Structures are given as C-alpha cells and as structure tokens.
Structure 1
Amino acid sequence: MSNIGLIIEEKSADIGNFLVGRLLPFREKRAVGPFVFIDHMGPAELKDYQNLDVPAHPHIGLSTLTYLLEGSIFHRDSIGSALEIKPGAVNWMTAGKGVVHSERTPEYLRTTDKKLHGFQIWVGLPKHLEQTEPTFHHIEASQLPVWEEGEVQFKLIAGEAFGKKSPVPVHSKLFFIEIKTKTAQKISIGQDLYGEAAMYVLDGTVNADGNTYGSKQLLIAKNTKLCEFEMSENATVYLFGGEPFDEERFIFWNFVNSDKELIDKAKVDWNDQNYEAFPLIPGDDKEYVPLPKAVLNRK
C-alpha cells in the first residue's frame, strides 16, 4: 500500500507585490507536525524596478523560519533586529505574545536585476510558550549540519534527525531537512524520522510506491517509519515534520494560537495600532499592512 496519504498542489498566493506558491495550510491538512504554514517563494527574476516590499505586519503565537536558495532579504523587527539574510542562512523569529517585522529588498539591490527564491515557514509554538517574549536569531549557513552519504548530500536546516541537531533554537520536536543527489539514489530514512512528515520536490523527480512525483507538490506521508523513496539524478527535496501538538492551532491572517480569544485581541490591537501590544519597527515605521476587514469581522 502506498505511504503517500495526501498530495497538496502548490497554489499561487499574492503577498502584496509578490506571488508565492502556498503549500500549507490546506483544507484537508492544516498542519504537518508543528508546521502550520509553508510558502515557496519563486524562483523569481526581478527587474531593476521590481523589489520585494512587505511592510510592517504583526504575528503572535508562532515562530517564522526564512530560508533562501537565491537572492537576499533585509529583515527588520520591533525587537530591534536589522540584518540581511542570504542563501543558506536561517532567520528564526519567535513572535510569542506579539512582534512586528518587515521584509524588503536590500538598498544596494533595489536598482539592479536580481533573483529571489526560498521558503517562508510558520511553526506553531507549544501552548506554554504562546505568550512568551519575542526573540530573533540568525544562523549562518556554515553553522548548519551538512554531510554526505555516498552521492547523497544532507543538510539539517532546523530541528533534530539522524543523530544530529541544528543550532536553530526551535521550541518543539521537529525537522526540516534538505536532501540532494548527483545520481539516481534510493533513500531509506524512516528510522530517523518521527511524528508527521511531508516532502516537497524542488528539482528532479521522486518515485515512491511506483508513482513518480515532480515539483510544485507537497507529499504527506501516512507513516514516517515507512519513509522510503527514489530520487532522480540532480534532484533536491525538502522534508518537513515532527511531533504534532495536542491542541488545535487556529490561524487568522498573520496570527496563530490555540486560544481564539488571544487572536481576537491581536486583531483589535493591530487594527487600532496599539503600540504597547505591537511596537513600531526602528528604521521602518512609516507604513504598515492594515488588518483586512474580513479578518477583523471573522470569529
């Protein structure tokens, strides 16, 4: 019997002035382990007059993970963080009770042609940490565990697996893994995974249970212990997953929480621009993304 329980097709979503491919949440699968939201950005070729500009916007009850394959993004937040993320590095921001951040093309790239490609991910927080103080961590590419087994290259971007641990300070048991092949290879890693798991095929193809899968699909496994598949030559896949939470996580716009009342409060605080709940971003406080009226009215 096939171990692929669900196939989610990547769908286009507009995040303001940039289209992304949305993988999670999906109507039949709201989360995979603690992962509640996954956007695949690009690959996009941006002209000298095109830039990524996501103004100040809020989050609660989650951690954001940004991982780039190409291009560059300048991150600012209400904690005071201000830095550029480049391919291979990880930005990990824990919103907790509330944080505001912006994401823009760096100044030195704004008048040149550029590329942008990567993942924007939200990870839910354990219930006891949903109201924690916000934090931000930047982990350089050189700090992530990378190793080879034959002609297969592994990178542990976040979490724990294969007896290794990423320095990204996650708050629950999870994994985010990159696997690359030079030649066609059979991969058997079920003994190293746990909880729930999903696979995204970036390049090449994957054969599982006699079926071949390509890009723009998120494959949800029925059982991580049966995680075996064949990768084509020059293929790249990403595995997401981990232990799911006991409580349901609700998502309304940019807010994630197990308590709907905290989400409703966040809606009002952001709509009213309550700076005690959502402080201004130093260096980027001239504009913000307003709360959609449909979100404000939704209960």
Structure 2
Amino acid sequence: MKILITGGNGQLGRELANQYKEKKGIDLILTYSSDLDITSTKDVFSFVNLNKPDVIINCAALTVVDKCETEIEMAYKINTIGPKNLATAANEIGAEIVQVSTDYVFGGNLNKSLTEFDEVNPQTIYGKTKLQGEILVKNLNSKHYIVRTAWLYGDGKNFVKTMIDLSKTNKTLKVVNDQRGTPTSTVDLARVIIKLVEDKNYGLYHCTCKGESTWYEFTKEIFRLKGIATEVLPCSTDELQRPAKRPEYSVLRNYMLELTTGDITRTWQEAIKEYLL
C-alpha cells in the first residue's frame, strides 16, 4: 500500500511516519510545504497522478488560531482549498483521503461532551476554515475519513514543551483555568487513523484521549510528573486578551469509534506520563 502524508514535518506527520515504518508492505511518501503546495490545484493533481497513492493523509494545516484571524485568505487556502484539492485528486485516481480536523468546529459553549452528531457552530476563522475543509472532503470523495482531534502534542513545538521551557525562567506561571478539553497524544491519534484505514471504516470520527482537563490542570500534571517546582496559578481566558475566541468547553467524545471499531485511545493522564517519562 502506498500512503502519501502531507505536512510530514508536523507533530502528527512525524508520528504517523514512525508507526507506519514499523509495518510491512507500506510505501510511504512524506511531503512538506516546500515540495508540495496543497493550495495549488495544478501542483496537487500533478503530484498525485505521478505518485498514485492508495491513501492520502492530510496533516498539513494552518493551526495557529490567532494568525488565522489576521491571515484570513491564507487560512482558507491552507485549511479549505488544500483539502479540496487533495480530495479531488484522490477521487480521480480512486484513492482514499484522511482529513484531520478540530474541536474548533463547535461553538464551545455547551457543557457536555460533543459527539459527531452534535451541531457544529465555529466561532473563529480557524474553525470556519477547517469545517469548510471537512465539508468539501466529504462531498468530493466518498472514500473519506474525517478525524477531529484537540489539544495535540507530540514530536515538535507544543504546549507541553512550551510550559516546561517557561518553567526554567519563571518562578510562577499563570495558566488558563476556564477552558476545558482533552490533551491528546499524537501516538493515540496516529494509532486510530492507521486502524481506520486498515479497516476501511470511512466516515466522520472524533479522536482524543479519554477524560477532560483545563490547561491549568494539565500544566499542574506536567510539572508534577517532571518534578518541576514552578508555581502554577489559575487565570481566566479574558486576562490573556487573545485575538481568536477560545472554546470554553470542547471535550470530544469518541462516539463513532465506540460504536464501530472500538475506542483504543488511552486516558490523557496515561498518555502524558508516557510522553514525559
């Protein structure tokens, strides 16, 4: 099986590559923005027709939510037009496509875990562009897997490493305590994506680790596991005055996984412990 992964230098792209390298019979093609511009229809069709992958896994995205609010055209090009191009090119050669999406497609104001059947209501440019990417992939290629995730960390720049780095030069840190979600390891997400593709379970899925946390609670657990003495103080989202609205409650329930292949993700506490230790 030939698998094309876009965004190969990102956290998820790296983890997928690591896990696929352990499997036999996989011909892996990793691409980066420098060698494949997913926003260019011509480039995508040329590349896909030349390499003829069986599966395209799109890990390329503009995920800096505040930047999306100011670079709106870029956000739509990468998060919406890119998936459209990949889905169309994949469909032309009969290939499957995996589109990675986000909890930001929801409004974030419901105090309940969200399933794939709950109504979407994005409040940010990031959420809107990712939702439109989902819709186009769904409409343009019947062999699709749309996988929503949240609070992702792995091999690369992420919240966990940022907090640890900040602890080295600060005696106290203020961390948001009024946003609830689920910290998710790329290890768990990659395992689920690979299993979905192996089982040919097309459709829309949520995939986060199990449980929920605030960023403050997550930071406290990171520091506890690492034995870091820096004091962590809770603060509100409003104190940070960020350009993009953050979801207050965006805990995703892996409901479709529960109903179909089974949810193989770990609790967020188990996953972060393995990641740090």
| Same topology, TM > 0.5 | no
- Indicate the structure with greater strand content: 1
Greater share of helix residues, 1 or 2? 2
